Amino acid sequence: MKGRSPFRIAALAMSLGLGFMAMTSPAKAQSNYPDHAARIVVGFSPGGTTDVLARIVAKGLTEELGETFVVENKAGAGSNIATDQVARAKPDGYTLLMMAITTTINQTLYTNIKFDVEKDFAPVALVAKVPNVLVANKDMPYNSVKELVEYATSKPEEVVYGSSGSGTSMHLSGELFKQQADVQMLHIPYKGSGPAMTALLGGQVHVMFDNMPSSAPHINAGSLKPFAITSASRSPAFPDVPTLQELGYPNFTVDSWFGIVAPAGTPKEIVDKLNLTIEKVLSKPEVVEQLDGLGAVVEKNTPAQFGEFISAETKTWGDVIRKGGISVD
C-alpha cells in the first residue's frame, strides 16, 4: 500500500481536529455558562409582581454566577409579545422568560396564538406562588366584600375593576367573582399590574384582584383596603384578611404563579445549572424574608416537575375558558 503524502496527512489531521473541536466546543460553552450577560424577559410593565420576582431572581443569579442578568420589560398582548419573542430566541441560556399563570391562560384564550406553551419552552424553575387579593381604593364607600356586593347590586356596572390585561388571572378572578356573586362590574384592562395599580390608587378604577406582592406596600400604607384573599387559606402576610371561601364563596380559589423558562432546545446542563442556582437564591434568608413580606410562597421543584405543572395549568384554564366561551382575537 502506498504511503500517504505529508500534505494528505496534514489535511487529515486538520479535518479530525476540526471535527473534534466541533464536538467539544458546545460542551465547553455549556460548562462555562454563563460567560456574558443574559436577560430575563418580562411580559408586563415594571412594578407588577412578575417584574418584582424577576428582579429578585436576576439579582441572585448575577451574584451567584458572576455575569449580569438583566430584566427586560416587553409589555403587550397580555404578555404574548414577550412570550413569543423568547420562544423564538436562540436556546443558549442567555434569553429567559419569567413566565406567569397568564401564559397558560393565553394558550386557550387567544385564537391567534403563535407559540405552544408545552412544546416551545424548556421549564427551568417554578419560583413562587402568590394569592390574589381583592382590594379597593381607600375612598370607596364600601369596606367589605358584603358591602361591595350590596353596592354593586344596587348600582349595576357602576363599580369599575381594573386588571393587568385581558385574560390575566386578575381579569379572570374578577369575572369569576361577578359570576359567583351575581353582580355586574365594568372591567378596564391595563398593560400590566403597575399601570392598573396606578389607576386604582388614583381612583380611575375602584377595585382590583391584584397579586399580593404588588398590593402589599399600599395595603400597609393605608392606600388600599383589603377585602379578601383568593387562595384556599389566609396569607401569613395579612392574617386578618379572610379568604373568599370563608366569606361564602366555596368554589373560589385562584393562585397566581411565576417561574423561569428558556427556549425549547436549551441544553439540559444549562437548565439544570439555572434550576440549582435559582433554588439556592430562593433559600437565602434575606430572599425568604423579602418574599414572605410580599405574601409569596416559594416552590422548590425540578425542571421536570415544573413542566408537569405547566401542562396541568394549561389544561385547567383551558377547560375554564372553553366552558365560559371566552376568547380574544
Residues 152-203 have pLDDT tens digits of 999 988 999 999 887 778 888 898 899 889 999 999 998 878 899 999 999 9
The pLDDT of residue 237: 83
pLDDT greater at residue 37 or residue 213: 37
Confidence of residue 5 (pLDDT cuts 50, 70, 90): low
pTM, two decimals, is 0.75
Q: Is residue 30 part of a domain?
A: no
Residue 24 counted as domain residue = no
Is there a single domain that holds both residue 153 and residue 111? no
- pLDDT value for 176: 84
Is 329 inside any structural domain? Answer: no
- Are residues 273 and 208 located together in one domain of the fold? no
pLDDT score, position 56: 96
198-205 CB contacts, 8 Å cutoff, 24+ apart: 199/162, 200/135, 200/137, 200/162, 200/224, 201/137, 203/137, 203/139, 204/160, 204/162, 205/137, 205/160, 205/161, 205/162
> Does one domain contain both 262 and 217?
no
In this predicted structure, the answer to whether residue 25 has a pLDDT above a threshold of 70 is: no
Residue 49 domain boundaries: 36-130+255-324
- On whether both 144 and 217 belong to a single domain, the answer is yes
Q: How confident is the model at residue 148 (pLDDT cuts 50, 70, 90)?
A: very high
Q: Which residues contact 42 (CB under 8 A, 6 or more apart)?
A: 50, 51, 54, 71, 72, 73, 74, 82, 98
Question: 265-280: per-residue pLDDT in tens?
Answer: 999 999 999 999 999 9
- Same domain for 217 and 300, yes or no, is no
- Rounded to an integer, the average pLDDT of 13-21 is 52
| 92 in any annotated domain | yes
The pLDDT assigned to 27 comes to 55
pLDDT band (50, 70, 90) for residue 1: very low
Residue 117 cell numbers, joined = 406553551
Reported as a single tens digit per residue, the pLDDT across 84-102 is 999 999 999 999 999 999 8
Give the Cα-Cα-Cα angle 70, 72, 192 (nearest 5 degrees).
135
Say if residue 116's pLDDT is above 80. Answer: yes
Find the mean pLDDT for residues 221-227.
98
Mean pLDDT of the chain: 89
Name which residue leads in pLDDT, 30 or 106: 106
pLDDT at 20 over 70: no
Candidates 299, 254, 294; CA nearest to 47 is: 294
Q: What is the CATH number of the domain that holds 76?
A: 3.40.190.150
pLDDT at position 4 is 52
Type and span of the H or E element at 126: strand 121-137
Q: How many CB atoms lie within 10 A of CB 112?
A: 8
| Range name among 16-25, 82-91, 118-127 with the lowest pLDDT average | 16-25
Lowest mean per-residue pLDDT among 30-34, 41-45, 312-316: 30-34
In angstroms, the CA 107 to CA 174 distance is 19
Whether 171 is covered by a domain: the verdict is: yes
Pair 153, 96 in one domain: no
The arithmetic mean of pLDDT across residues 278-285, rounded, is 96
Q: pLDDT tens digit string along 40-71? A: 999 988 988 899 999 999 999 999 999 999 99
Rounded mean pLDDT of 121-139? 95
Domain count, the chain: 2
Collapse the DSSP code of 160 into the 3-class scheme (helix H, G, I; strand E, B; otherwise coil) and give the result: strand
Same domain flag for 275 and 209: no
Q: Within this chain, do residues 149 and 124 fall inside the same structural domain, yes or no?
A: no
Identify the residue with better confidence: 12 or 68. 68
Residue found by looking up cell 387559606 in the block? 233
- The pLDDT value recorded for residue 24 is 47
